Amino acid sequence: MSSAARFFITTPIFYVNAAPHVGHLYTVLIADALHRWKKMKQNETQSLFSVGTDEHGLKIQRAAANADPKTLCDQNSLKFRQLFHVAGIEYTDFIRTTDARHAVAVEHAWNILKQKKLIVKGSYSGWYCTSDEAFLPESQVQSVKEADGSDVKVSTESGHRVEWMQEDNYLFRLGAFQDDLKHWIRQEPIAPANFNQLVEHWLEERELADVSVSRSSNRLQWGIAVPDDPSQRIYVWMDALINYLTVCGYPDESFRKFWPADVQIVGKDILKFHAIYWPAFLMGLGLDPPRKILCHSHWIVDHRKMSKSIGNVVDPFDRVKRYTTDGLRYFLLREGVPHSDSNYSDEKVVAYLNAELANTMGNLLNRCTALTVNPSQTVPARSSASDIARSLGGEGSTLIENLTALPRIVDEHYESFNFYKGIEAVMSVLREANTLVQNTTPWTLANSKDSLDKEKLRHVLFLALETLRVSGVLLSPVTPTLSSILLGKLRRILAFLLLLHYSIVAGCEEWMGKRSAAHLKTFTGRAIMKVERCNFLIWNIFFCCLVAVNGQMYGKKAIKGTDKMIVTDRNVFRKAASLDKLSGACDADESCVFSWACDRIRKPVRSCSGPFYFFTVCCKTANSTTYFETKPDYSLPPTATTITQPHSTALPTTSTTSIVPIPNSALAIPNQTTLGGQTAVKPACGRAPLMSRVGRIVGGSAAQFGEFPFQAMVVIKGAEKCGGALLDHDWVVTAGHCVASASITAGDFIVKLGVWDRTRTNDILPVEERLVTKVILHPTYSSMRSFSQDIALLRLSAPVVYAPHIQPICLPAPDEEFTYLMTTITGWGRLQFREDRPSVLQKVDVPVISNWQCESMFTTQHTPESILPDMMCASTADGTKDACQGDSGGPLSLIRAGSHVLVGLVSWGYGCALPGYPGVYARMSKFTGWLEDTMRANI
C-alpha cells in the first residue's frame, strides 16, 4: 500500500449509450476485490473507491433524439448502479458527469490550463469517429466496402465509421509533454508490462500533436460549456477524465488527501486516453499522475469480440441469476487474466464452480463436518505442528508448510492484480487437504478404538478445518458472501482475522499450541452441491436447488419438449425433510425450526433436514405456546403445479435471498401468494414471526434478531443516513427531510431490509437490498424552523419477498390518538451526540405525550416551539431516552392485538436525550390517507 493512511482506487466511468455487459462488471470486480483486500489488511485505512457513468457527448445527444438527454442518462446510469448493487460492489462514490460538483471541477481545471496557455483556440480538421468520440490521424483510418459495394472510412482499431470534420475549437498542447510522458512511462506505472511497453512504443514512434478539447455548440449541445465561450462544449474525454479529481473533492484543497490515485483500472480500449492524455492533463495542472494504472484485456465469446449485431453479448444480470453473485464473481476473477483476452462460456462457469467450489471446497467441508467423523462438531484443540507431522507424516508436514506460506503467496498475487493466480494458489492447498483426508480415511479412524488412530483423526480434522478457515479468509475479497458463511460456520469472526496479522498460520507451532477447542455450528446433509445449470445458491453454500436433497430429486419430472417441470407429489417437501438418515425426522412433540430460534427458548434435540437443513433443529414444543403457533399445512395443492425454469435441466430454480417456509416450521408464515414469479409470503401486517414481544437510541438496548422486521435502513450516496419502515412489497416510508435535498435523486438511494447488525457480522438471515426508482416527498413538506409534513415514500426497484425477518408494519387509523401510550423507537443512531453508531439495531420504550405538554417542555427550556397537528412528541420524565443522530425517519411503533402499528417517524429534536427536551415525530395517523392514496396511484 502506498500510504498507511489512505487508499484511492478508481474504475472508468462507463458510457451510458448501452446496457452494461460482463466486461464492465469484470473491471469493477477487480477494483472491488482489491479494495476489499486492502481494507482487510489494514482496516483503519481511509479508502476511496469510485465508479460512475460518463453522460455527455454526441452519442448521447443522438441517442436521445428529440427526448431529454438527462432522462436517458438517468435511466441508463441506473442500470449500471443496479449491476454494481447485485454484484456486491462496495464502492464509496458513484460519480456522474452530469453532477453539478463535476461541472465545477471541469471548469476549474479548464481555466487553469487556459491560464497557463496550454489550451489555445485554433482550427482543427481530421477524421472524427462519433462512436469513439475521438479524432483519428490518417494512419488509423482505412477504407472498407459495404454490402452495397460502396466505400466507407472506418477506424482501424474499433471498426466504427468516421467522417471528415473541420471546425474551429480549442486545442490542448499535448506535444509539450512528450518528454515528461516518456520519463514517466519508463518508471513502469502501467501493469501488466506488455501494456506499459505498448505506451512506450506509442511515445517513441511518433510526435504527439495538439489534441482538440472542445466541440462546436452547433454540433454538440449536450456537454459542459467552455467557460466564457458558449459557442463551444468541452470535449467529452477531457470532461470524463476529470471525474477522478471530482470524487476527491477537487477543486477544494481537501482533494490532496487522496490524490494521486493509488490504482486506476481501465480496459485496453481506452488505454491511450488514460496513459497519454490523462497524465498530460495532470502535468499541465501541476499534479502527479496516478501511481499505477492497471490495464486489462477484454472478454470475448467463442474467440470473437462481443457485439450486439452478432448477438453474443453476455448479460451480467442474467448470469447473476443463473450462478449468483459470488458464482459469477468467482468465475470472472478466476478465469480473467489482465494481459490477454479471456474467453467466456457458460460451460466454463459451470465447470469451475463444480470443480472448485463444490468438489474441492465443498467436499472438504462435508468430510470434516460429517457427524460420523466429527460427532461433537468441534475444531480439535492443541495440536502443534510437530505433533501433526509425527502423526500424519510427510503429507501433513507439507500441507502445514504450504498453508503457512499461503497468505504471503496470495497477497503477492492480489497486490500484482493477478487474482486468478491467488485463487489457484488457494485451490491448490485445498486440493492437498482433500488428498490428505482421502489418504487418512477419517471415517475409518472414527470407528477405531486405538488411541493413535483417535489422535490421527483429531490432527487431520484440525488441519483440514484450518485449511478451510484460512482459505475462507483469503477468498473473501473474491466471494465475500460465501466466505462469510463459511467462516461463520467455523465460528470465526471475520474482524478477528484481519490479514495484517499473518500469524493466522505463520508460526504454526506456537499458534496451534495456544488453540482451544472451538465448537462448530451444526452441519448435516450435503455441503456445497454441484451446479447443473440451476440457480447456484452460494449465499447458503450448503444446498443448490430446492428439494434437491442428498443429490437426489423427489416428486418431480420434466415435461418433454419444454423448459418446465411438474410437481407430481404434493408431499415432496415432507419427503425431502425425512431423508436425512443421520438426524431423522422430528417427533410429534417437536418442530423442525431455525436453530437460533430454538436456542432462545429450549435446548435443541438434534438436527433435522429440509430445504434449510443447515439451519434447522428439532426443538421441543410441548407446553410451549410463547414462541410457537399451530403448525401450518405446507402440503401442495391437490392439482399438479408447474414450475417454470430458465434452463432445461432436471432441477428447479429459486431466489438466492427470499426465504421459502421450511417444512413443519412453526416459525414460517402461512397464506402464500405469487409475486413476480416467486413464492411470496403475505401475512397480515405488523407480524414479527421470530418471537413474541420482549424492551436507540439513547438509554435503550439492543433489539433481538427479527424483533422489528419492518425496520428499514436508508442508504444515501453510500452512507447510512436514515431509518424507515416497510409498508408493503414495494414501498418504504421515511422522513421527508431525509430526501428533500435538491442534490439527491432516486438513483442515490439503496434501501436495506432485514438488517439487524449493520456491519453484517452477526446477521442470521440474508439482507434484502433494493434500489429506489421513485421518491415522493409530501407536497406540503416544509423545513422552515420545525419540519412540517415531514414524510416521504420510497418506491423500491423490485418487490420485496416477505420472510420471517422482513415484514410490513400496519398503518394506524386516520386521526387515531396514541397519547400516553408506551411506544418503541428503533434505529442505529448514535447513542450519544457525536459518538460512534452502534452496529446492532437499538430499541427504547418511550411514552407519547400530548402536544400541549410538549410545547410546555420546550418553553420551560427557553426554546419555544410550535408542535403542529401533524407532529407528536414522546419523552420519558427525565428525558434520558430518545432518538439521536442517525435515527431520522425511523419508526416509532407499538404493539396492538399482537401486531406492530406505525405511530410516528423520527423527525427532529434538540441534541440527544437532553433532559426537558422531548423528541418530535411525524404523526402517522395524519398521513394514513395520503400514504394509501399515493401508493395506490403509483402502482
Could you tell me how many residues make up the chain? 939
For the segment 691-713, the average pLDDT, to the nearest whole number, is 68
Residue 684 has a pLDDT of 66
Give the H or E element holding residue 37.
helix 22-41
Percentage of the chain surpassing pLDDT 70?
Answer: 72
- CA–CA distances in Å: residue 414 to residues 32, 279, 408, 428, 503: 12, 25, 10, 16, 19
CB 866 within 8 A of CB 855: yes
What residue has cell string 437443513?
613
CB 321 within 8 A of CB 538: no
pLDDT per position as a tens digit, 732-764: 999 999 998 877 888 899 999 999 887 765 556
- CA–CA distances in Å: residue 445 to residues 389, 465, 499: 17, 17, 34
Residue 572 has a pLDDT of 29
Torsion (CA) 653, 659, 661, 665 in degrees, nearest 10? 130
pLDDT per position as a tens digit, 331-378: 999 999 998 888 899 999 999 998 999 889 988 988 888 778 877 767
Give the H or E element holding residue 437.
helix 419-440
For the segment 135-150, the average pLDDT, to the nearest whole number, is 74
Task: Give burial (CB, 10 Å; 0-12/13-18/19+) of 423.
Answer: buried
**Is pLDDT above 50 for 610?**
no
Q: Which of 639, 687, 679 is nearest to 661 (CA)?
A: 679
**Is pLDDT above 60 for 646?**
no
836 Cβ partners below 8 Å, 6+ apart?
830
Q: Compute the distance between CA of residue 512 and CA of residue 528 in angstroms, rounded to an integer.
A: 28
Q: Compute the distance between CA of residue 930 and CA of residue 937 in angstroms, rounded to an integer.
A: 10
Q: Are strands 293-296 and 263-267 parallel, antiparallel or unpaired?
A: parallel
Q: Which of 803, 808, 805 is nearest to 686 (CA)?
A: 808
CB 244 within 8 A of CB 93: no
**Is pLDDT above 60 for 913?**
no
Assign domain 701-937 to a CATH class.
mainly beta
Mean pLDDT for the chain overall: 76
Q: Compute the distance between CA of residue 851 and CA of residue 429 in angstroms, rounded to an integer.
A: 67
What residue has cell string 417427533?
587
Backbone CA torsion sign across 255, 256, 259, 260: positive
Question: For residues 309-346, b (16+ Cβ closer than 10 Å) or e, as one string?
Answer: eeeebbebbebbbbbbbbbbbbbbbbbbebeeebebee
pLDDT per position as a tens digit, 271-303: 999 999 999 999 999 999 999 999 999 998 888
**Is pLDDT above 60 for 564?**
no
Q: What are phi and psi of 659, to 5 degrees?
A: -100, 120
Band of pLDDT at residue 224, cut at 50, 70 and 90: very high
What is the DSSP-derived secondary structure letter of residue 539? G
Q: Compute the distance between CA of residue 241 and CA of residue 274 in angstroms, rounded to an integer.
A: 8
Q: Looking at the whole model, is its pTM more than 0.75?
A: no
What is the DSSP-derived secondary structure letter of residue 615? T
Q: Compute the distance between CA of residue 866 and CA of residue 174 in angstroms, rounded to an integer.
A: 63
886 against 304, higher pLDDT: 304
User: For residue 279, is the peptide bond before it cis, meaning its omega torsion is within 30 degrees of 0?
Assistant: no
Question: For residues 754-776, b (16+ Cβ closer than 10 Å) or e, as one string?
Answer: bbbbbebeebbbbbbbbbbbebb
| Grid cell locating 664 | 413443519
| Grid cell locating 746 | 432516486
Q: Which of 278, 260, 243, 59 is nearest to 172 (CA)?
A: 278
Q: What are phi and psi of 543, to 5 degrees?
A: -160, 155
Task: Give burial (CB, 10 Å; 0-12/13-18/19+) of 452.
Answer: exposed
Region of poorest pLDDT, from 3-12, 465-474, 782-791: 782-791
Q: What are phi and psi of 120, to 5 degrees?
A: -130, 155
pLDDT per position as a tens digit, 812-830: 998 788 988 899 999 887 5
| Grid cell locating 709 | 422486521
Q: Compute the distance between CA of residue 683 and CA of residue 899 in angstroms, rounded to an integer.
A: 11
Residue 13 has a pLDDT of 96
CB 190 within 8 A of CB 338: no
| Grid cell locating 720 | 447510512
Q: Are strands 93-96 and 46-54 parallel, antiparallel or unpaired?
A: parallel
pLDDT per position as a tens digit, 457-493: 888 888 998 899 999 999 999 999 888 888 777 753 3
Task: Give burial (CB, 10 Å; 0-12/13-18/19+) of 35.
Answer: buried
Q: Compute the distance between CA of residue 939 and CA of residue 934 in angstroms, rounded to an integer.
A: 9
Region of poorest pLDDT, from 239-243, 378-382, 721-725, 800-804: 378-382
What is the DSSP-derived secondary structure letter of residue 792? E
pLDDT per position as a tens digit, 523-557: 333 334 344 332 332 323 322 222 222 223 223 33
Assign domain 348-519 to a CATH class.
mainly alpha
Task: Give burial (CB, 10 Å; 0-12/13-18/19+) of 686.
Answer: buried
Residue 391 has a pLDDT of 82
Task: Give burial (CB, 10 Å; 0-12/13-18/19+) of 394.
Answer: exposed
Q: Compute the distance between CA of residue 477 and CA of residue 878 in angstroms, rounded to an integer.
A: 48
Q: Are strands 299-301 and 342-344 parallel, antiparallel or unpaired?
A: parallel
Q: Compute the distance between CA of residue 506 and CA of residue 236 in angstroms, rounded to an integer.
A: 51
| Grid cell locating 394 | 510427510
For the segment 647-653, the average pLDDT, to the nearest whole number, is 27
Band of pLDDT at residue 879, cut at 50, 70 and 90: low
What residue has cell string 401533524?
870
Region of poorest pLDDT, from 138-142, 225-229, 526-530, 676-680: 676-680
pLDDT per position as a tens digit, 168-221: 889 999 999 999 999 999 999 999 999 999 999 999 988 998 999 999 898 888
Torsion (CA) 866, 870, 875, 879 in degrees, nearest 10? -40
Q: Compute the distance between CA of residue 838 and CA of residue 826 in angstroms, rounded to an integer.
A: 12
For the segment 781-786, the average pLDDT, to the nearest whole number, is 68
| Grid cell locating 283 | 502535468
Q: Compute the distance between CA of residue 865 and CA of residue 395 in angstroms, rounded to an integer.
A: 76
Task: Give burial (CB, 10 Å; 0-12/13-18/19+) of 161.
Answer: middle
CB 166 within 8 A of CB 90: no
675 against 401, higher pLDDT: 401
Helix (H, G, I), strand (E, B) or coil at 14: strand
Of 259-273, 683-697, 913-927, give the range with the top mean pLDDT. 259-273
pLDDT per position as a tens digit, 391-449: 888 888 899 999 999 999 999 999 999 999 999 999 999 999 999 999 999 888 888 88
Strand ranges across the sheet with 134-136: 134-136, 119-129, 163-172, 211-212
**Is pLDDT above 90 for 766?**
no
Domain boundaries, the chain: 348-519, 546-659, 701-937
CB 55 within 8 A of CB 96: yes
Percentage of the chain surpassing pLDDT 90?
Answer: 39
**Is pLDDT above 70 for 566?**
no
Helix (H, G, I), strand (E, B) or coil at 151: strand
Residue 654 has a pLDDT of 26
**Is pLDDT above 60 for 658?**
no
Residue 143 has a pLDDT of 81
**Is pLDDT above 60 for 497?**
no
Residue 600 has a pLDDT of 37
Q: Are strands 6-10 and 263-267 parallel, antiparallel or unpaired?
A: parallel
- CA–CA distances in Å: residue 268 to residues 202, 275, 338, 684: 14, 10, 9, 54
What is the DSSP-derived secondary structure letter of residue 441? -
